[in-house]
Amino acid sequence: MSSSPPYTYIQCPCSNEEPAEGSDASSPEGDSFHDAERTFDPRAPRSNYSLYLLEYLLYCEECQQIRCPRCVDEEIVTYYCPNCLFEVASSNLRSDGNRCTRNCYQCPICSGPVQVGEVQAEPETNLLSADNATAAPHGPYALFCQYCSWVSSEIGLEFERASGIPSQLAKMKNGGIPKITAKELKERRKEEPDMPPLEDELVDAELQYSALKTFYQSQINGPSNGLPGGLSLGDGHNFSSPAALTRMMSMWQPGGRGAQGKTAGPPDMFPEATDTDKGLKLAQLDESAKVQKLLDGGWDETVSKDQLLSQLEHAHFQDELRPLQCVLRTKRSRRCAVCRHIISKPENKVGSTRFKIKLVAKSYIPSITIRPLEPLAPPVPVGMRPQQPQEPPLKPLQPYQYILTFKNPLFEKLKVSLATPNNTPGRFSSKVALLCPQFDIDPVKDMWEDALDGDDRSRTEETGQAEAGKIYKRGRNWVSIILEVIPPLLTVDSLRPHTASGEPTDRSPLREDEKILEIPMFVRMEWEPEAQHDVGDSVGKDRNEGQKRELAYWCVLGVGQISHE
C-alpha cells in the first residue's frame, strides 16, 4: 500500500476462501454470509496480500466474482524479444535459452539497448566541414549505448562484421582476446594428445561448465561402476549420494517397496572432477592485482550491485562486464482458477498491445472515490495536474465529512448497500458513520437518452448537503453520499485499560500505520441482468432471466493521516 490517501482498495474475495473448497466460490451468497460475521481489518498482516486497486482486478463472468492476480492462473502465449519484437518459438527456447539470439544486446553499464555502429577509425581532419562524405571504409564495428555513451571498444570488443554479433562475441573475451571454446580445445587435443591442460586463468566459467557437463554426462551414460542396487551401509560415503538417499526414503515410506531398485541405472557414486580437463578449477587466491586495480581506479571502477546481478559471470570491475543479450519477455493469458475460463488474453502478434479478451473488474463493479467535502488543501495548479492535493493531517476528535462517489459501469440499475463498523478495528478506533448506506445508481445511458427522459425523480432525493438518509448528489450513472469520520486521539494514555472482552490493552508505542485512517467498508450490490440476446444456450437464458445477481466484497477507504501531536 504505497499510494498516499485518499485511496480505495478492494479486497479480493479469494483470500477468504478455504483453500480446499474451490467449487463453493461460485455462490457469492455463501461468501457474504461468512464475511458478515466479522469485520475486515485493513491493518491485519494478511490484508496486505488481498487488497488491490480496482484497476488491478479482473472479473470472471462465469463465477460472477472478482479475480485478483493471486487467484488467476497465467499461461504464456508467446515469447518475444523486447528489443527487436521478434517472436521466439517455445521449441527454440529450450535449445537457445531465454535470451534473444539475434543482434539485441543490453549495455552492461546502464542496461539500455545498444546499437551496432562503425568505429570511426580515422577522425576527419577538418572538423568544421563535417558534411563532406568520404568513401565509407568499412571499419571495425562496435556496440554503442545511446544512453550512457558506453562503447564496446572500451573493453576491447570490436567486431569485423555488423551482423552475427552473438557468434563473434562468443569467440572473444573482454579485451579482444580470443576465447577458447570447448570445441576448439577438443580439436586441439586430438591433434596433439600430449598437450598439457590449460592454465587455470584461461578457463572461464563457460569452458569449465562444458567440461564438467561432459565429464558427468559420460559417467551417467557409462557403465555402472560396480555398486549393486542394495544399500551397503558399511560404506559411509554412500549416504552422500542422492540415489542412496532416495532409496532410503522409499524404504521408510509406508508400504515402501524396499530397496530392490534398478541395477542398470546410473551409479550411486560419482567420482569428482580432479583436473582441469574434467572441469576442476582452483580458486584464485592471489588477489593482489585486484587490490592494486582497486587502489588505482577507486570506487568508480567497481561494479554496482545491479550490474553484477545482471551478469552471467562474477565480475569485480567495470571492464569485466560484458554486453548481455536481451532477456525475452512473454505475453500471458489469464484463466480463472476456479472455473478455468479465460478472463484475459492478449493478441498473439507481438506488435499489438490489444487484448482479445479482457474482463476487467472496472466494467463490472462500481468505482469508489473519496474526497473531502470541504477540502483544506489548495487546488493543484494545472501544470502539475496528475499530482493529488495533499490534505493536512486530520485533527483528533473532530468530525470530518467526506464525499464518497460511486460510479456504475453497468447498463443495469444497481442497488448498493454499504456497511461500515461504527468503530474502525484496531487500538485507536475512529468513529464512522455513513449518512446514506442504501441507494440505487442509475445505469450507464446515452447522454441523449438521459436528456430526453426528463424525469426528475432522482433529483428530488438529493440534497446537496450532508443530511442523514439522503443522497448528497446524483448524476447520470453516479451517486455521491457523505461519510462522517471522527479520528481518535493517538496517545497511548488515552486508551482504556481493558478491552471489551476484558483483556488488558496493548500499551506499546504508536506504530507507523496507526496514523493512517483507513475505514473498512462492506459493499453489497444487486442488479437484475437483462436477458442476454446473443448467448445461444437456453439454459443460460433461463438462469439469467428474472434472477437478481449480487456481489459483495470488502473495500478499504484510505481517508488521510491523523495528526498525533
Q: Contact residues for another protein (CB under 8 A)?
A: 109-110, 120, 123-124, 127-128, 130-131, 147-151, 154, 300
Closest approach of Cβ 322 to another protein, in Å? 16
Closest approach of Cβ 300 to another protein, in Å? 7
Nearer to another protein, 144 or 270 (CB): 144
Closest approach of Cβ 510 to another protein, in Å? 32
Q: How far apart are CA 365 and CA 527, in angstroms?
A: 11
Nearer to another protein, 137 or 454 (CB): 137
Q: Map 246-287 to HEC letters.
A: HHHHHHHCCCCCCCCCCCCCCCCCCCCCCCHHHCCCCCCCCC
Nearer to another protein, 128 or 135 (CB): 128
Nearer to another protein, 307 or 417 (CB): 307
Q: How far apart are CA 383 and CA 370, in angstroms?
A: 23
Residue-wise DSSP of 394-456: BPTT--EEEEEEEE--SSS-EEEEEE--SB-SSSS--EEEES--EEEEPPP--HHHHHHH---
Q: Locate 271 and state its grid cell.
A: 567420482
Closest approach of Cβ 159 to another protein, in Å? 17
Nearer to another protein, 96 or 154 (CB): 154
Nearer to another protein, 306 or 453 (CB): 306
Question: Which residues share a beta bridge with 557?
Answer: 8, 519
Q: Locate 28 and state its grid cell.
A: 457469492
Closest approach of Cβ 103 to another protein, in Å? 21
Closest approach of Cβ 380 to another protein, in Å? 19
Cα three-residue angle 519-520-524, rounded to 5 degrees = 130
Closest approach of Cβ 160 to another protein, in Å? 19
**Spatial CB neighbours of 70, under 8 Å, sequence gap ≥ 6:** 12, 14, 15, 49, 50
Q: How far apart are CA 470 and CA 461, in angstroms?
A: 6
Q: How far apart are CA 305 and CA 318, in angstroms?
A: 12
Q: Locate 83 and state its grid cell.
A: 528489443
Nearer to another protein, 109 or 466 (CB): 109
Q: How far apart are CA 15 and CA 5, in angstroms?
A: 24
